[in-house]
Amino acid sequence: MSKKILIADDSMLIRRQVTAALTAAGYVVVEAVDGEDARQKLTPDLTLIVCDLNMPRMNGLELLEKLHADASMSHVPFVMLTTEARPGIYEKAKMLGAKAWLIKPFKPDLLLAAVDRLVPR
Amino acid sequence: MKVAVISTDAILRKRMAGAIADAGFKTLTASDLAGFTAILISAAPDVIVVDWRLTEAVMQKLRSAPRQSYVIATQAQWSAEDITAAYARGVHDFVKHSATNAELIGRVTGYRRMEAWARATTASSNDLTSVDLSRIRAWRELAAIVGTDLGEMFGLSFAPTSVDSYNVAFASKIALTLATDRVEVQLAIGIDSAAAVHIGQTLIGDTSTEALADALREMANTAGGAMKRAALLEGLTFTLGLPENDGQFSSHETRHHMRTPDGLSIVVATTVRSIAPKTISAEALREGMVIARDLKNTGGILLAAAGTYLTSSTAERLSRIAGPSRLVEISVAAAA
């Protein structure tokens, strides 16, 4: 069965870029337009979440906090994909369980390498 | 203008020096570091074209030189990693061995454009005493960023061109704020209609105006993030604002034009200006604003450091903690 990944980003361009890279590698991708939309699309069969940091309604850190507090979802690997690189935010995300921090502009093959490394076999 | 060409490759050295001399510049050559040192002492070149492998040693020599030179590194191929490393070393520009004479001369004369840019910036921002803005080398830095990182991300291969005219169909801008020094760099990215259609069709599957405007905003956001990291290498910590559509694209001070081999066009533009801080009540804080001066509570505990970019939740939290009547000094980012 194909593995399902959630991409949360308020930019359609980024969602399409990520979706194209991951579907070409055989993943099923669900798109969310912000953190709140992503929260509503959390399902037990998700294998990984790729998430922007700055988004309307609910940002990436707030979504990560909710996942961290949810025992049924806290095991899902979380990849932050953002232009931000401030150490304070990076450390907070790490503390909340983020497994990778990718900086935009990203190379699709690097994203794929990070995802392949984190998705459970 | 004096130009030094430093290369261990005699054929390359002769070809580049010949092209530069033919363009009317006084040219000096050296094949090694000792030769370069002699040139540095005797001639103080304005521009140095140097083999990538020799740049580290050359930059070290230049650091102790009384007068700074504009440095162009050269090698057969440039990867994104090499370009980043070159800027980190303090190199101003880069060129491939295979560059045409016209491109080489164009890059050598970049020194004059840089001088003009620095003069214009200084003249229009005479209160910016604590930051040497020329250090961020915005126009050339951004050209490299868009031409490599953005191109790789979106599967497009942009290369700088010397085209002067352009017809921008969509443009977005983003502000990078150095709140502590009251400086704002406004970065804008514009594309022509052919590039807009290409991006719409191939990258997002939607050519509506709304989708293209969204795509451009994200490209501006991405380029802004990349520029912020480039500035960090220079010790400057910028805060990124929110991207927005740019109706005043033509008013930017410096523009750099790039094309793909298929003729798609993209223009990167920048404006550097001083920003006046504002004092507002804490209850008026909102997303997109940047704290200009450390905000502390009555007990002296830091609530938000200068340079903090406010998201909607941090603005709400600060407003609550500081109290609505508390005055806060902010620099307003473009989106605010």
Residue-level pLDDT at B304: 84
Structure confidence by residue, pLDDT tens digits, B163-222? 656 678 888 988 887 766 667 788 888 888 888 888 888 888 888 988 888 888 888 888
Structure confidence by residue, pLDDT tens digits, A8-37? 998 888 898 899 999 999 999 999 999 999
Residue-level pLDDT at B16: 94
Report CB contact under 8 Å: B218, A83: no
- Local confidence band at B334 (pLDDT 50, 70, 90 cut-offs): very low
Report CB contact under 8 Å: A13, B152: no
Structure confidence by residue, pLDDT tens digits, A73-106? 889 999 998 887 666 777 888 888 888 888 877 7
Residue-level pLDDT at B130: 44
The tokens of B12 are what? 């390359």
Compute the mean pLDDT over every residue in chain B, rounded to the nearest whole number. Answer: 78
Whether A74 contacts chain B with CB within 8 A: no
Report CB contact under 8 Å: A104, B214: no
Whether B166 contacts chain A with CB within 8 A: no
ipTM attached to this prediction:
0.71
Whether A59 contacts chain B with CB within 8 A: yes
Rounded CA gap, B1 and B163, in Å? 24
Rounded CA gap, A120 and B15, in Å? 56
How far does CA B34 lie from the centroid of its chain? 33
- Local confidence band at B97 (pLDDT 50, 70, 90 cut-offs): very high
Residues B80-102 have a mean pLDDT of 85
**Contact residues, chain A, for B214 at CB < 8 Å:** 11-13
Question: Which of residues A115 and B226 earns the better pLDDT score?
Answer: A115
Residues A61-83 have a mean pLDDT of 90
pTM attached to this predicted model:
0.57
**Contact residues, chain B, for A88 at CB < 8 Å:** none
Rounded CA gap, A66 and A13, in Å? 26
First-last CA distance in chain A: 12
Which of A72-76, B76-80, B142-146, B189-193 shows the lowest per-residue confidence on average (mean pLDDT)? Answer: B142-146
The tokens of B132 are what? 């040497």
Residue-level pLDDT at B129: 35
Report CB contact under 8 Å: A11, B313: no
Closest by CA position to B155, among listed A119, A9, A21? A21
pLDDT at B128 over 50: no
A41 by Cβ neighbours in 10 Å (0-12 / 13-18 / 19+) ranks as middle
Residue of chain B minimizing CA distance to A108: B153
Residue-level pLDDT at A50: 95
C-beta neighbour count of A18 within 10 angstroms: 27
Rounded CA gap, B134 and A84, in Å? 24
Whether B222 contacts chain A with CB within 8 A: yes
Residue-level pLDDT at A23: 94
Whether B176 contacts chain A with CB within 8 A: no
**Contact residues, chain A, for B211 at CB < 8 Å:** 12
Q: Cβ(A106)–Cβ(A22) under 8 Å?
A: no
Rounded CA gap, A95 and B25, in Å? 58
Residue-level pLDDT at B37: 83
Give, for A9, the enclosing helix (H) or strand (E): none
Residue of chain B minimizing CA distance to A83: B225
The tokens of B169 are what? 């169909």
Q: Cβ(B260)–Cβ(B191) under 8 Å?
A: no
Contact residues for A25 (Cβ-Cβ < 8 A; gap 6+): A112, A115, A116
Parallel/antiparallel/unpaired status of strands B183-191 and A4-8 = unpaired
Whether A71 contacts chain B with CB within 8 A: no
A67 by Cβ neighbours in 10 Å (0-12 / 13-18 / 19+) ranks as buried
**Contact residues, chain A, for B290 at CB < 8 Å:** none
Structure confidence by residue, pLDDT tens digits, B271-280? 777 777 778 8
Residue-level pLDDT at A48: 95
Amino acid identity, residue B118?
A
Contact residues for A98 (Cβ-Cβ < 8 A; gap 6+): A64, A78, A79, A80
Rounded CA gap, B62 and B77, in Å? 25
Rounded CA gap, B314 and B307, in Å? 13
Residue-level pLDDT at B127: 37
Residue-level pLDDT at B15: 93
Residue-level pLDDT at B65: 65
Structure confidence by residue, pLDDT tens digits, B30-40? 998 888 888 88
